[in-house]
Amino acid sequence: MNNYKTLKSSGKAQKEFKNSIFIGYSRHVKTETEAKAFINEIKKLHKDANHNVSAYLVKEEGSLTLKYDDDGEPAGSSGKPVFKVIESKGLHNTVVVVTRYFGGIKLGFGRLSRAYRETAVSAIEDAGAVEVFEEVRFRIRFGYPDLQKIRRLVEEYGRIEQEKYSDTVEFEFLIKKDFEEEFHEKMAKLTKNKIELEKA
């Protein structure tokens, strides 16, 4: 998974269904540990709530982890619908928690599922989505005469993070993984194979 879609920022939404208050929270996370910490944070924030339903989908180091928890609601009525929202929107590294304060009127399985689903959708929409590209870090050293042409090529394919100037010039930069091979070929051609690229 070189490119993936995730949340741009944290999101929050509140809805009311038959006197029950539903509060949704969404966040981008990098690891399962971060997802669990966020769930615990919301549970502490709403320790007086009837339920804190959660779901997450995290990709880290080549493995995909997906989990959802009904937190005392009828099995399959809440955690799964929240997870399905994450999945249907094609999001990765995303965690959603929907807190419920029971209002005295039972919703029934269908309406309960819809309440959790709609709250999750609103919390995700509040955060917004962003495309993330996997990047590779490189380091390159070269002489001053090549400065402008190398800068142009690097900036065409990625972004320079660090520049050092001494008797030679050194760039540390990031390239989208999808373009790594193409960039290598262009750099070799541009510098006639005289400059060595190394992964930083």
Q: Are residues 173 and 184 in the same domain?
A: yes
Counting every residue written for the chain, the total comes to 200
pLDDT at 1: 46
* Nearest C-alpha neighbor of 78 from the set 50, 36, 46: 50
Q: Where are the alpha helices (DSSP H) in the chain?
A: 32-45, 79-88, 108-127, 147-157, 180-190
56: Cβ contacts below 8 Å, ≥ 6 apart: 29, 32, 35, 39, 65, 66, 67, 68, 83, 86, 94, 95, 96
For the chain, which residues score pLDDT lower than 70?
Answer: 1-2
What dihedral angle (degrees, nearest 10) is formed by the CA atoms of 104, 107, 113, 117? -60
Of 132, 147, 163, which marks where a domain is finished?
A: 132
- In angstroms, rounded to a whole number, what is the distance separating the alpha carbons of residues 3 and 131? 7
Q: Are residues 11 and 100 in the same domain?
A: yes
Q: Are residues 39 and 112 in the same domain?
A: yes
pLDDT at 2: 60
- What is the distance between the terminal CA atoms of the chain, rounded to a whole angstrom? 21
Q: Domain total for the chain?
A: 2
Q: Are residues 125 and 189 in the same domain?
A: no
Q: Are residues 122 and 141 in the same domain?
A: no
Q: For residues 56 and 45, is the Cβ–Cβ distance under 8 A?
A: no
Q: Are residues 59 and 76 in the same domain?
A: yes
Q: What is the pLDDT of residues 37-82, one digit of tens each?
A: 999 999 999 999 999 999 999 988 778 899 999 999 999 999 999 9
- In angstroms, rounded to a whole number, what is the distance separating the alpha carbons of residues 181 and 31? 28
Q: Are residues 27 and 68 in the same domain?
A: yes
Can you give the residue range of the structural domain that contains 102?
A: 3-132
